[in-house]
Structure 1
Amino acid sequence: MTALANNTSKRRLLLASDRSDQSNELASILRSVGEVDTVLTSEIPEQPARDLSGIVVDINLRSPEAVQLVRAKLQADAYREMPRLFVLADALHHASMQAWALGATDTISRPFDARGILQRIRAAFPDDSGYDETDRGKALNRGVEAAHGVMVKIFERMRAGEPLKYDDIVAAENKILKAIKHNSLREWLTTVGCHHQETYRHCLFVTGFAVAFAQHLGMREDDQRRLARAALLHDVGKAFIPVALLDKPGPLTVEEMAEMREHPRRGYEALSAQGGFPPEMLDVILHHHEFLDGTGYPNGLSGNQISDIVRVTTIVDVYAALVEKRAYRLQFTHAKAFSMMEEMAGKLDQQLLQAFRPVAFGHY
C-alpha cells in the first residue's frame, strides 16, 4: 500500500461494518485517501464528528436485520446529506438496489482492486482541501469524477428503476471538456484505464477519444458538447443487459450476442420514453453500431442514412474497443487497431478515420 499512500488527504471517513474480519483490506485502502474510524454498525454514533467527510457501509445486504439497523441509523438528520458508499459482495441486482434504497451515493464491489477503486472513493468523498495541487490535475480529477457519476446513474441507478435526466449529462459535460482540454488524452486514458468495471471503462475511453477528436477538428464548443453528451450515453442500453452477460470472461455465444445486440434499441426506447433528450443523442444511442455498407445493426442503415455524429462516434467506439484490454483477450497495439479499421473501408468513413489518425497515435 506504500505506493498508494502518496496522495493521503485530509478526508476523515467512518467505516461501519458488521463483518470486521473482512473489512481490514478495505480499511487499509481507505487510509490511502484519509483518516478512518472503524465501528460496528450497531455503534454508528447518532452525532458524527464535524469533520467527517462521509460513511462507508460494509454489511450483509441480504440480512434484513443489518439493513434495518443501518436504515435507522442513517435516517438521522446528521447523516442525511452525508455521502455514503456501500460495499457489494457481488454484482447481483438485489444487493445494488438495496444499497440505493439505503441512500447510497456510490457502490464498490468485492474483490477489491485497490488502484481501481481509489478514484471511486475520491469521487464519492470530495475533499475541499484538494488532493491534487495543480489546477490541471484538479480539472482532470473533476472531469473523471463527473463522467464516472454519469456512469453510476446509467448502470446502477437506472437498473434500480431511477430515471436518467438530461440535466445529469449537461452538468458533467463542462468538466469533461475542461479535463481533456487542459490536460491530455493520455492522462485521461491513464486515469480511467484503472477502472475495474469494463463497461464503465469503455464508455469513459469513448468519451475521451470523442472529445479529443472534436477538439482536434476544431469543432465549435456547442458541437463539442453535443459529441461529449452522445459519447457518454452511447451505451446506455447496456444498463438493461444482465450484468453476468456484460462481465462474461470470454467470447459470447450466438444467443448471448443476439441479446447484447439489443442494447442500442433498449437504450433508445428507454430515453425516448423518458423524453427531454435531443434527437442527435438518441440517433447515436440507436445507430452507433451501424456501418456504411449496411451490415450493422439494429436497422441495417447504409451510406447517407448514417449521420455525421454517428460516424464519428462509431469510429471512436470501435477504436476504443480494440485498444482496451478485455477479459477474453489482450488489447491490440494502436498501430494494429488503426490498421484493422483501415481494412474496414466499406464500413467506416475513411476520411473521418484518417482525420482521427493524429488523435489515435498522438496520446501515448
Structure 2
Amino acid sequence: MNAPAKSAAKRRLLLASDRSDASSELASILKAVGEVSTVTTEQIPERPSRDLSGLVVDINLRSPDSVQRVRNKLRGDAYHSMPRLFVLADALHHGTMQAWALGATDTISRPLQPDAILQRIRAAFPDTATYDATDRGKTLNRGVEAAHAVLAKMFDKLPLGVPLSFDDVIAAENKILKAIKHSSLREWLTTVGCHHVGSYRHCLFVTGFAVAFAQHLGMREDDQRRLTRAALLHDVGKAFIPAALLDKPGKLTDAEMDEVRQHPRRGYDALAEQGGFPPEMLDVILHHHEFLDGSGYPNNLSSNQISDIVRVTTIVDIYAALVEKRAYRMPFTHSRAFTMMEGMGGKLDQQLLQAFRPVALGSF
C-alpha cells in the first residue's frame, strides 16, 4: 500500500500581538497560507528559528510599552534578514511612519480584507520549504544577486580605478528582467528591502520599478533592456561622493548639497571616459535630475531636450526615493508619494506619471 502523499509545507509565521483577543481574526486569515504561532510582545524570541518565514506584528502603536518591547527585540541583527509585516489601525501616515521606524518591511491596514491580506502575505513571506526550490524563487534570487554584483563593482571598485564594463551590465540584465517578470515587483522590493540598505537599495528599488513599468507599458524587449541598464547605473556618480555625506541624518548644508549634485556629472565623466557604454545610458546618468520646466540639474534642460528614457527614469527614481526609509526621514506611504509627485506639476511628464500609477499603487 502506498504511503499517503505528503502535503506541501506551508509558511511558518510568528504573530506578535498585544490585543486581548490575541488578534484572532488576523490569525484565522493567516492560517490559510501558513502555520501561525501567536505570542505576546514579551514572548517574541531574541532569535527566530531558522524555519520561520516572517514576523507579523499586530500591536497598539500608541502604547509606549508595546512599542518599546518590539523595538528592543528588533533593534539587533537577528530579525534583519526576515520580512516584518506590521498591522496598522488605519492607513494614516503617522502609523506607517511608526511601523517603519520599528523595523517594518511592509504594512497592512485595518479593516482587514482577507483576499488582499493573503495576496500580500504570499508575496512578502516566501514559503520556506518550497519557495527557493522553485524556478520562480531561484529566478528572483538570481536577479537580485546579479544586480547586486554590478552595484558592488560600481560602488566599491570603480572609485579605486577598477573599470566597470558594459558586459558586466549585459550579463545582469537578463536575470533582472526574468526575476521581475516571473515573480513580481512586490517580491523584488521585499527581497531587496530585507537585505540591502543605502545606495544599493535605492538603485535596486529604481531598477525594480523601472522594469515593472517597462513591462506594464508593453515596451519591446530591446527597450526594456535599455531601461534596465540605465536604471541600474543611473546613480553611478554617487560612488564618487563620500558615504558619510550620502547617509547624513540631518539637513545638508548648501556646500554639501552642491557636492551631492555633482554625482550625475561625475558618473557620466567616469563612464564616458572609459568608453563602451551606449548614449542612452550616459544620457540617463547625466540627466536623471533634470525637470521639464528647466529647474533641474546639472544642465537646466527643459521640455523636448529631455528624452523619454530620462523622463521614465526620473519618475521611478523620485518615487523610489520617497517610499524608501532614509537616514533623515521615514518613508512616505505609496499613495502619499504618488500624490506628492502629482503635485510637482510641470516638472514631470504627468502623462507618463499617470501611466505609472498602476505600477506604483496596484500591488501595495
TM-score (norm 2): 0.66
How far apart are residue 114 of structure 1 and its match? Answer: 5.1
Match of 1:281, SS state, is: helix
Alignment partner, residue 348 of structure 2: 348
CA contact (8 A) 1:115 1:194 kept: no
Counterpart in the other structure of 1:3: 48
Matched residue, 1:156? 156
CA distance in 2, matches of 1:112, 1:321: 25
Q: Distance in 2 between matches of 1:4 and 1:326?
A: 29
CA contact (8 A) 1:235 1:285 kept: yes
Q: Partner residue of 2:88?
A: none
Q: Partner of 1:55 in structure 2?
A: none
Relative distance call for 1:131 and 1:159 in structure 2 (3 A) is farther
- Corresponding residue for 2:229? 229
Which residue of 2 is the match for residue 359 of structure 1? Answer: 359
In structure 1, the gaps of 5 or more residues are: 9-110, 120-129
Partner of 1:317: 317
Q: Retained in 2: the 8 A contact 1:139–1:178? A: yes
CA displacement at 1:160 relative to structure 2: 2.3
- CA deviation after TM superposition for structure 1 residue 345, in Å: 1.1
The one-character-per-residue Cα deviations of 1:29-63 (angstroms, maximum 9, x if unpaired) are xxxxxxxxxxxxxxxxxxxxxxxxxxxxxxxxxxx
CA distance in 2, matches of 1:239, 1:118: 28
Q: Residue 208 of structure 2 aligns with which residue?
A: 208
For 1:357 and 1:231, the matched residues in 2 are separated by 18
Q: What letter is aligned with 2:232?
A: L
**Do the aligned partners of residues 245 and 319 (structure 1) sit closer, same or farther apart at CA in structure 2, a change above 3 Å counting?**
same
Report the CA distance shift for 1:113/1:251 in structure 2 as closer, same or farther (over 3 A).
farther
Distance 1:4 1:215, change over 3 A: farther
Contact 2:131–2:137 (Cα < 8 Å) also in 1: no
Per-residue Cα deviation, 1:244-273 (whole angstroms, up to 9, x for no partner): 111212221111110000000000000000
Matches within 5 A, 1:232-247: 232-247=232-247
Shift of the alpha carbon at 1:159? 2.2
- Is the 8 Å Cα contact of residues 159 and 239 (structure 1) preserved in structure 2? yes
State the 1:118 CA deviation. Answer: 8.9
1:4–1:115 CA contact under 8 A, matched in 2: no
Matched, 1:295 2:340: no
The match for 1:89 is: none
Q: Residues 272 and 328 (structure 1 numbering): CA distance in 2 closer, same or farther, change over 3 Å? A: same
Query: Would you say 1:170 and 2:170 are equivalent positions?
Result: yes
What runs of 5+ residues in structure 2 fail to find an aligned partner?
A: 1-45, 54-74, 84-129
Mark the CA change 1:115 to 1:310 in structure 2 (over 3 Å): closer, same or farther.
farther
Deviation at 1:3, TM superposition (A): 3.3
Write the distance in 1 (CA, Å) between the matches of 2:143 and 2:202. Answer: 16
Task: Determine the C-alpha separation between the residues in 2 that align with 1:331 and 1:255.
Answer: 25
Q: Rate the CA distance shift 1:113–1:2 in 2: closer, same or farther, 3 A.
A: closer
Does 2:298 match 1:304?
no
Give 1:113 deviation, angstroms: 3.9
CA distance in 2, matches of 1:351, 1:268: 28
- 1:158-186 per-position Cα deviation (integer Å, ceiling 9, x unaligned): 12221110001000000000000001100
Within a 5 Å distance, the mapping from 1:1-364 to structure 2 comes to 2-3=47-48, 5-6=50-51, 113=77, 132-364=132-364
Judged with a 3 Å threshold, the aligned counterparts in structure 2 of structure 1 residues 149 and 217 are, in CA distance, closer, same or farther, namely same
Q: Does the 8 Å contact 1:117/1:196 carry over to 2?
A: no
CA distance in structure 1 between the partners assigned to 2:156 and 2:81 by the alignment: 16
Structure 1's 7 and 274: CA in aligned 2 closer, same or farther, altered over 3 A?
farther
Q: Which has the higher contact order (CA 8 A, sep 6+)?
A: 2
Distance 1:4 1:218 in 2: 42
The alignment's C-alpha RMSD in Å is 2.1
Which residue identity is paired with 1:325? Answer: K
Q: Could you tell me which amino acid in structure 2 is paired with residue 287 of structure 1?
A: H
Per-residue deviation, 1:195:
3.4
Runs of 4+ in 1 over 6 A off after TM superposition: none
SS in 2 for 1:283: helix
Aligned to 1:86: none
Aligned equivalents of 2:351, 2:49: Cα separation in 1: 43
